[in-house]
Structure 1
């Protein structure tokens, strides 16, 4: 976690200041965000104290982003303050990491890793029964036979960290061996979001749901498994139906071929 920490208002204001070096008026910034003068003043002062913005001249005063530490002092560490992202924009880099480093670390030979959030006309089986992402494969061990795994994931952005995500994951966990919530938590907001993440972990631990936080979806070194997911005893028929309804034709073929050629196929 970076030493630089912002509260939510400081983060929101910083993201409103142009990232191209241009200045923006305090009046227009406050109007866009819709804050009172005292609230805006506290956030502005917080950014000034952290040397992230610089005051400028102009009617009502202006703000512009300060140079990154590495530009003024090559020996200092560059601090990344990412712009807000949409949940759907996280799916692709998350899938790439899940299918590569995450699977390797878990000892999972992934057969399919797919975005199932936008299933079009596919059957869902009810509210929240469709996860955002799914990874299917064989988990291998040194002294224990390989086990088939269906791992589902519920993805949330930093502004949607709450226990509701746990219950969404719990809903589709009935068709999985493991279910996780994946929360995007930029490093600069780690302290601000500590209590919210703590509440989620407490709820998840009661239901066997895993909790993972990450700063960069594409960088596994920023991922932190805060709560391991317990192995669930889902009905095989229900799992099979789930995969038929949610996986692509190619994904289903990869899974079926692997099972047919493995010692898990006794038919």
Structure 2
């Protein structure tokens, strides 16, 4: 789990190309929120927020990340990541798939399923390496209802994280 957090806070964040005053919050949500329902707990979420210089309002994007082991990369794993987008804008499947793994035989099928459902696919080749993750499929933005996202974040962010996010949205943070 820690290598994924490091990747999200490092290389993934840099890839978002946020302005200097934009914020990113990464939260381990694997044990947070309701245990009711199927596939309701992504392993991590990442929230980015920024304000515009000339346009009114703020842009908030919520990403969910489902981490799977070498043997866990499967079509149901893609569907799990997809189900989590009922609370987020973007869903990602992060698959720990080392080089020359026997599970590489499933990679093309998983890529196709991710493409079809608009789910991002991140291959984690070597969790101990800074460059150990590679984005294979970019996610598509989902039209998730703001009320669903709001409730999801309310249940999973700390008071400090909520206040910081609200500050950016209000233009005071």
Q: TM-score, normalised by structure 1?
A: 0.57
Shift of 1:248: 2.5
Deviation track 1:141-162 (CA, whole Å, cap 9, x = no partner) reads: 9x99963110000000101111
How many angstroms apart in 1 are the aligned matches of 2:55 and 2:66?
29
Q: Structure 1: give runs of 5+ residues left out of the alignment.
A: 1-90
Equivalent of residue 85 in structure 2, options 173, 183, 197: 173
Q: Is the 8 A contact 1:212 1:225 kept in 2?
A: yes
RMSD: 2.6
> Match of 2:25?
112
How many angstroms apart in 1 are the aligned matches of 2:31 and 2:59?
28
- Pick closer, same or farther for the CA change 1:140–1:97 going to 2, 3 Å: farther
- Pick closer, same or farther for the CA change 1:262–1:235 going to 2, 3 Å: farther
> Match of 2:133?
223
* 1:193 and 2:103 are equivalent in the alignment: yes
> Match of 1:209?
119
Shift of 1:138: 2.5
Shift of 1:257: 2.0
> Match of 2:156?
246
Shift of 1:95: 0.9
Structure (1/2) with the larger strand percentage: 2
SS in 2 for 1:123: coil
Q: Structure 2: give runs of 5+ residues left out of the alignment.
A: none
SS in 1 for 2:37: coil
Equivalent of residue 131 in structure 1, options 38, 42, 45: 42
SS in 2 for 1:234: coil
Q: Is the 8 A contact 1:103 1:110 kept in 2?
A: no
Deviates more, 1:246-255 or 1:201-210: 246-255
* 1:149 and 2:64 are equivalent in the alignment: no
Determine which structure has more spread, i.e. the larger CA radius of gyration.
1
How many angstroms apart in 2 are the aligned matches of 1:249 and 1:218?
31
Number of aligned residue pairs: 169
SS in 2 for 1:231: coil
